[in-house]
Amino acid sequence: MNSYDPELQKKVFIQEPDNIIEEVKCILSLINSKTDNFVEEVFNDTVKLFNGHFKGYQASKTKYHDLNHTLAVFLATARLMHGAVINGRALSRDIIDIGFISALFHDVGMIQTEDDRQGTGAKYTIGHEERSIIFLKNYLVERNLYKTNLDDCAHIIGCTITGLSPAEIPFRSKESELIGKIVGSADLIAQMADRLYLEKLLYLYQEFQEGKIPGFESEFDLLRKTESFYKNVSKKRLYIDLGGIYSLMRIHFKDRFGIDRDFYQENIQKNIEYLRNVILKYEQEYRQMLRRAGIVSSLEKAKI
């Protein structure tokens, strides 16, 4: 594995929304020469929604399932689509659009309406995908767009539900199934490859507490169980349930940057290895080992 290259990392793990949409538009031009404004319009609406500038909704309050996560999934989706096309899999422009809107709206079910003032959207953790599907369908119907593909959108978002096997989803076409598996794979690898993934797990624990997700006694317990979740749940889902679609990422990077590497898998392995070291050596001082982006400092100031 090559040494850490900050400039290359900036190109791969893009943070700024403006840069993300520009990269996706570039990838889209590589996939399909025809372009329209649909993807950019939905992207802009997603940013408005998360930031509290969408009629009827508050700004997103969840700190793990936030705008950064959604945009990371959006970018990873575009990259996997490109890898699929390079690999010889046909994707129509309509299914590409449907895949993008499903990726952008897959977690909006955790955003509260204006009159919902209790807690945060984390209380909707269980079942938030269904709320996301309802929002997406209303969005498309109001705009008179893709109204014959509403079920496809629902099936694609269904692929982000960890406990639901894609084999149980009644996809209407092989193309829809492929996009569903792309979005489901993007959702997993985007979060686990995040440079701040380990720190953000502390936010995830808060969301689990509010959402009444059982099985985690403390922050450290969640950290301790994360490697097992990766090995026994995430890897199985990526490799088997989602058909190994994640491997298309390497094809994308080779074509896009001329580098035969999968940066997502590399980062995931780095995160898991570092987490293993924290668990083995720093049970009492684990927060001291998770200092990126000031996340721990903000939690300590809030006395969480």
CATH number of 11's domain: 1.10.1300
- The Cα 42–Cα 297 span in angstroms is 34
Start-end of H helices in 91-218: 93-104, 128-142, 150-158, 174-192, 197-210
Which residues, 6+ apart, have CB-to-CB distance to 100 below 8 Å? 24, 39, 42, 43, 74, 77, 78
Burial 4-28 (b: 16+ CB within 10 A, else e): eeeeeeeebbbeebeebbebbeebb
In a domain, 230, yes or no: yes
DSSP letter at 187?
Answer: H
11 falls in which pLDDT band (50, 70, 90)? confident
Domain count of the fold of the chain: 1
Residue 95 belongs to what domain range?
6-301
Answer for the pair 157, 135: CB distance below 8 angstroms, yes or no.
no
- How many helices (H) and strands (E) in the chain? 14, 0
Instruction: For the chain, give the percent of residues with pLDDT over 90.
Output: 92
In a domain, 122, yes or no: yes
The mean predicted confidence, pLDDT, of the chain is: 95
Domain for residue 1, yes or no? no
Q: What is the DSSP letter of 3?
A: P
Average pLDDT over residues 113-138: 97
Query: Is 138 within a domain?
Result: yes
For residue 97, being part of any structural domain is answered with: yes
Band (pLDDT 50/70/90 cuts) for residue 35 is low
